[in-house]
Structure 1
């Protein structure tokens, strides 16, 4: 599945809980995608393949955030059927090229080639179909997180094969000297500068938000990939709201 078919922007949460039922709930709620998190939280490749199954069953795009620029993990995430990989800690154009190379088969990259995987229907798919279509059927999202990446952003934006440039506001807040303050003027200004450079070049930009107001603000500035909250945080907010209203 592709993210932006007939959509001006897309919205989806990070998923840290290991139960794939929450992926189904996200789909029923109307989210466009889920980011299944292997960087922060208890999940493994083995557990998240059920998240991918749930996403496909409910027709929602699956993104796996891998823990690092690691060719084997990127390949595994795509082998189990993820629609996109989201690669953190991108600091240079070379980092971005490594991520693309790991996620794409020849000629766009050098991803490990195996058709005995879930993405190839466990070898039941004709090999010509699998290897011929895999590159266009999967995507790469790179995660810009700090000042080093910010200083190299012009070169990063030139890298071919990147579908979305995702700006992580929490890590960016650390680089700006205001850890955790994702709405601090320094953080907002830094993200805006990246957006203003990327959008005129036709690049798709994403970021993380924690309120509808923030989401609308970035959408108005041209951000199209909106990561809204985290499953555990969304659940906490709902529970806290109920408790506060009952006890009021």
Structure 2
């Protein structure tokens, strides 16, 4: 399924918990996608296969964030059925091109070729259909997280084959010398500059938020891919709110 069809913006949480039931809950709540996290937290390729199944069964888009630019890991994430792969720590245009090369089959890239995988219905799908359509039905998302990437943003934005430029505010805050201060003027200024540079090139921008107010702020500025918090954080906030109200 396409992430952005007829939608002004999309919103979904990061998923760190290893139980795919929370993916189903996210779908019932109305999120558009989930980012299944292999960079931070306990999950592995083996554990997240059922997260992908749960997302697709309930009609939301499964995105897998891999730990790094790793051709084998990107290929595995797509092989188990991720519809988008999200890659952190992109610093240069060459980094972005490596992501495209790993995520796309010829002629756009050099992704490892195998049809005996879940994404090809375990070889029951005609191979011409699988290899012919895979580049159209899977997407790439790259993280811009620090000053090196910010200084190279003009070249990164011009790399073909990238679907979303994702700005990581926490890592960017550290790179700006104010770790954790995601609303610091230095951080906001850099983020806005990336959004402004991406717009005339028709590039979709995403970012991470932790409140509806912050989400609305970035949506109003043209950000279309809104990563809203993390499953464990959402659960904590809900629990804390209940406990505080009961104890008042």
Calculate the TM-score normalised by the size of structure 2. 1.00
Confirm whether residue 36 of structure 1 aligns to residue 26 of structure 2.
no
Confirm whether residue 235 of structure 1 aligns to residue 235 of structure 2.
yes
Q: Which residue of 1 aligns with 2:119?
A: 119
CA distance in 1 between partners of 2:23 and 2:182 (Å):
26
SS at match of 2:87: strand
SS at match of 1:18: coil
Q: Which residue of 1 aligns with 2:74?
A: 74
Q: Which residue of 1 aligns with 2:142?
A: 142
CA distance in 2 between partners of 1:34 and 1:189 (Å):
28
Q: Which residue of 2 aligns with 1:222?
A: 222
CA distance in 1 between partners of 2:200 and 2:243 (Å):
46
Q: Which residue of 1 aligns with 2:210?
A: 210
CA distance in 2 between partners of 1:200 and 1:209 (Å):
24
List runs of 5+ in structure 2 lacking aligned partners: none
* Aligned counterparts, 1:42-121, within 5 A: 42-121=42-121
Deviation string 1:100-136 (CA, Å, 9 cap, x unpaired) is: 1000000000000000000000000000000000000
Q: How many residues align?
A: 248
1:192 Cα offset (Å): 0.3
1:201 Cα offset (Å): 1.1
Calculate the TM-score normalised by the size of structure 1. 1.00
CA distance in 1 between partners of 2:34 and 2:180 (Å):
23
1:199 Cα offset (Å): 1.2
Q: Which residue of 2 aligns with 1:22?
A: 22
Runs of 4+ in 1 over 4 A off after TM superposition: none
Cα RMSD (Å): 0.4
Confirm whether residue 171 of structure 1 aligns to residue 150 of structure 2.
no
CA distance in 1 between partners of 2:2 and 2:52 (Å):
14
